[in-house]
Structure 1
Amino acid sequence: MKKVDTIIVGAGLSGMACAARLVAQNRSVIVLEARSRIGGRILCPAHQNFFADLGPSWFWPMVNPEVSALVQDLGLKSYPQFEQGLALFETKAGDIQTVSGCPMEPPAFRLEGGMMALIKGLFAQIGAQIIRLDHPVCEIRHLDNGCRVTVGHLDQPPRCTLSASNVILALPPRLAARSILFTPDLSYDLTQAMLKASTWMAGHAKFFALYDQASWRMMGLSGQAFSQRGPLGEIHDGSGAGDSPYGLTGFAGIPALRRKDEKTMSRAILDQLAQLFGPDAALPLALYYKDWSRESFTATEYDKKSCHNHPEFYPPGGKTSIWNNTLHFAGTETAGQFGGYLEGALVSARRAADAVSIN
């Protein structure tokens, strides 16, 4: 059982950013990812060299210094969210009203290549050799000189074990508390704090429809719409910086427990888009849909009820490290500021990497 300096659990933005910082310091690192892909809640299916964000879509340069610095460091290009024109509002009865647009303040920006461009850029800095996909962590045991990590499922024989001086949990605290056996047991207060920490996006579902023309812009609309009826509750223009494909994107307004299967939801989404933006909106070049509440490596049974207001996120139980500073918390839900956002993921990544560096 080879020992490394640091094992990072999770290859989302926080985990990848942690790894990049530690690799730059010539530390030995292994990243364990339960999924068969990197990115975590950043997911961007490709269509004609356009990448549709089914996870986070925006960052705000005026208040997101960590994301802005990473974008610059990776040489990526950003562009402002399209918000020119009027918006639509749909009542519970299905009446559609044209209203003034609601531009974001401060202004929001998207990335060329989607938010996956951040993950790809960090991957290029890290290298494939330290990332192990399809490696779910089922147990973390505290040792005298570090931690031992077991890969596999608790109800099956372990696939492999690894040891490290430090372990960084770069995944939602609730998911960690629900899916990983900690030995010795975590304190009752810490376990409860982890289970009570909301997981951002875990109760949500998001769609992305692509078109060769932005018919809504021709009608003087921004693509922004809000609905009390559903199935979509919030819609925005998701187009790229240049020509086609153009896009509409947004979130389901139906709670996770009431949402149907993908085929049924997709059909209902297209019907609603046609009602709002005209019949052409029901004929996209491509339609993507992701229900994060059905993603076992994102959501737990506690996440079926969506957070309609942005929760306040803090390190669980006020702790950023435990077990004599060998087990460290990262992930956007553990950030003391900008929790739930990409900025929070990077803030927590910097904090965890710094804790390892001085350990």
Structure 2
Amino acid sequence: MRNTKVAIIGGGLAGLHTARLLHSAGIEFLLIEARATLGGRIETVNETGQADADGFDLGPSWIWPRMQPAIAALVAELNLLTFAQNSDGDVVFERMSRESAKRYPGLNQEPEALRFIGGSASLVRALAQGLPEAALWCGAQVTAMRLNETGVELSLRFADGRIELIQASQVIAALPPRILEATVQFEPAQEKGTIELWRQTPTWMAPHAKFFAVYDRPFWREAGFSGTAQSMVGPLAEIHDATTSSGKAALFGFVGMGAEQRAAIGADALKEASIRQFTRIFGPQAAHTRATLYKDWAADPLTATSADWFSAGHPNAPGGGWIAGPWKERLVLAGSEASGSEAGYLAGAVQASSQAARDVISKLIVEQS
């Protein structure tokens, strides 16, 4: 059995930021990520779907530094570069299938939405680079936690079926409450109110699906379009320019139907319908794609549960806290959903993980004294 001061469950933005704060404070930690790679819901890929340092964000893309000081400070600390989401040109509205799309002059975005040069995964890379590699375990899923006299015993299952036990003084769960409740067995069991709270908390990104069409050039800009469109016709409800800072041209949209309907229609049919929609809105050149990408987060078992097929919206932090009973002294939540001010955003992951790190550091100081 391996011992560590703090076990961090989840290797996305929240988990990595927590690890950075603990490492800076000289506190031993072990970060455990169920996926084969770090990043969680941050996934930046090239047109072939492979991870890339200059690709398209299948997960979250935008930050608003003017109104999100925590992530603005982290971006500055990591010396990351950003660029503005393209808003130059006209926007399009589709209201009914029997009417042609309406084109209107675009408006300046306020506050301005920014994207990362290199994609959102640049955050992941920058955070991971400053951490000890031996403390980052990928391909290991926490399946059970048991309270004991000195802290928490965690049971890990690796991709090859191997089981390992970890003993930690404190545990920081940097993953959605629903996933935590659905995948981890607790001894003693969490209180009924805690279980119900976790189950009822919507998971950021979980209900959504994104479709990308990659092109040789951003022809819509040449025609005076910004790439932004809203549609009540579909299948995409909200469309944006996804062209990278280096000029790799793409459009993307959020699929405007529920997960159950998406599954019934199938990915291939949705892709074809989405290209037809791009052609309908931006002209015949939209039919000639270099590649397409499709990510349905509701189909990702490490992001969504069956409850996410039928609910959406941003989570709200409870007034009474996320944990009650005996687990309150040993377990802290740190995912974006746990943020008291920015739940459901990248900034929320930074805010919640900062608070979690402060809480755990304070508990460890009390223990030592």
Report TM bin, short chain.
over 0.9
Q: How many residues align?
A: 354
Shift of 1:49: 5.5
Closer, same or farther: CA 291–103 of 1 in aligned 2, 3 Å: farther
Shift of 1:126: 1.1
Bigger CA drift: 108-117 or 259-268? Answer: 259-268
- Structure 2 Cα separation of the partners of residues 127 and 217 of structure 1: 44
Out of 254, 257, 266, the residue aligned to residue 254 of structure 1 is: 257
**Residue in structure 2 matched with residue 131 of structure 1 by the alignment:** 136
Is residue 209 from structure 1 mapped to residue 213 from structure 2 by the alignment? yes
**Residue in structure 1 matched with residue 89 of structure 2 by the alignment:** 85
Could you tell me whether the CA contact under 8 Å between 2:197 and 2:322 is conserved in 1? no
**Residue in structure 2 matched with residue 266 of structure 1 by the alignment:** 271
Code of the residue aligned with 2:32 in structure 1: it is L
Could you tell me whether the CA contact under 8 Å between 2:56 and 2:244 is conserved in 1? no
Could you tell me whether the CA contact under 8 Å between 1:232 and 1:269 is conserved in 2? yes
Is residue 189 from structure 1 mapped to residue 211 from structure 2 by the alignment? no
**Residue in structure 1 matched with residue 316 of structure 2 by the alignment:** 313
CA deviations on 1:299-354 (whole Å, 9 max, x unpaired) are: 000000252xx434215852368625211111000110010001110011011111
Bigger CA drift: 158-167 or 287-296? Answer: 158-167
SS at match of 1:113: coil
SS at match of 2:44: coil
**Residue in structure 2 matched with residue 11 of structure 1 by the alignment:** 11
Bigger CA drift: 131-140 or 275-284? Answer: 275-284
Out of 141, 144, 155, the residue aligned to residue 146 of structure 2 is: 141
Shift of 1:104: 3.4
- Structure 1 Cα separation of the partners of residues 356 and 196 of structure 2: 22
Bigger CA drift: 188-197 or 324-333? Answer: 324-333
Could you tell me whether the CA contact under 8 Å between 2:202 and 2:311 is conserved in 1? no
- Structure 2 Cα separation of the partners of residues 42 and 9 of structure 1: 16
CA deviations on 1:164-207 (whole Å, 9 max, x unpaired) are: 00111100001111111111011111110010000011010012
- Structure 2 Cα separation of the partners of residues 129 and 209 of structure 1: 38
RMSD: 2.0
Could you tell me whether the CA contact under 8 Å between 1:175 and 1:300 is conserved in 2? yes
Closer, same or farther: CA 32–94 of 1 in aligned 2, 3 Å: farther
Is residue 178 from structure 1 mapped to residue 182 from structure 2 by the alignment? yes
TM-score, normalising length: structure 2: 0.91
Is residue 150 from structure 1 mapped to residue 155 from structure 2 by the alignment? yes
Code of the residue aligned with 1:305 in structure 2: it is F
CA deviations on 1:91-134 (whole Å, 9 max, x unpaired) are: 23253111343543211111100110000000101132211111
**Residue in structure 2 matched with residue 50 of structure 1 by the alignment:** 54
Could you tell me whether the CA contact under 8 Å between 1:189 and 1:317 is conserved in 2? no
Is residue 199 from structure 1 mapped to residue 203 from structure 2 by the alignment? yes
- Structure 1 Cα separation of the partners of residues 59 and 123 of structure 2: 13
- Structure 2 Cα separation of the partners of residues 190 and 56 of structure 1: 28
Could you tell me whether the CA contact under 8 Å between 1:94 and 1:229 is conserved in 2? no
Closer, same or farther: CA 293–102 of 1 in aligned 2, 3 Å: farther
Identity of aligned residues (%): 34
Is residue 31 from structure 1 mapped to residue 31 from structure 2 by the alignment? yes
**Residue in structure 1 matched with residue 347 of structure 2 by the alignment:** 343
Bigger CA drift: 46-55 or 189-198? Answer: 46-55
Closer, same or farther: CA 102–190 of 1 in aligned 2, 3 Å: farther
CA deviations on 1:119-170 (whole Å, 9 max, x unpaired) are: 00001011322111111111111112110111139xx987111110011110
Could you tell me whether the CA contact under 8 Å between 1:50 and 1:240 is conserved in 2? yes
Closer, same or farther: CA 157–12 of 1 in aligned 2, 3 Å: closer
**Residue in structure 1 matched with residue 366 of structure 2 by the alignment:** none
Bigger CA drift: 29-38 or 287-296? Answer: 29-38
SS at match of 1:251: strand
**Residue in structure 1 matched with residue 67 of structure 2 by the alignment:** 63
- Structure 1 Cα separation of the partners of residues 318 and 133 of structure 2: 30
Could you tell me whether the CA contact under 8 Å between 1:256 and 1:306 is conserved in 2? no
Code of the residue aligned with 2:243 in structure 1: it is S
SS at match of 1:323: helix
- Structure 1 Cα separation of the partners of residues 107 and 303 of structure 2: 30
**Residue in structure 2 matched with residue 280 of structure 1 by the alignment:** 285
Q: Structure 1 regions of 5+ residues with no counterpart? A: none
- Structure 2 Cα separation of the partners of residues 339 and 49 of structure 1: 27
CA deviations on 1:206-264 (whole Å, 9 max, x unpaired) are: 1222222111111111100111121111001112234x312212210011110033222
- Structure 2 Cα separation of the partners of residues 286 and 20 of structure 1: 37
Out of 294, 298, 304, the residue aligned to residue 293 of structure 1 is: 298
Could you tell me whether the CA contact under 8 Å between 1:11 and 1:32 is conserved in 2? yes
SS at match of 2:140: coil
SS at match of 1:263: helix
- Structure 2 Cα separation of the partners of residues 139 and 248 of structure 1: 42
Code of the residue aligned with 2:215 in structure 1: it is Y
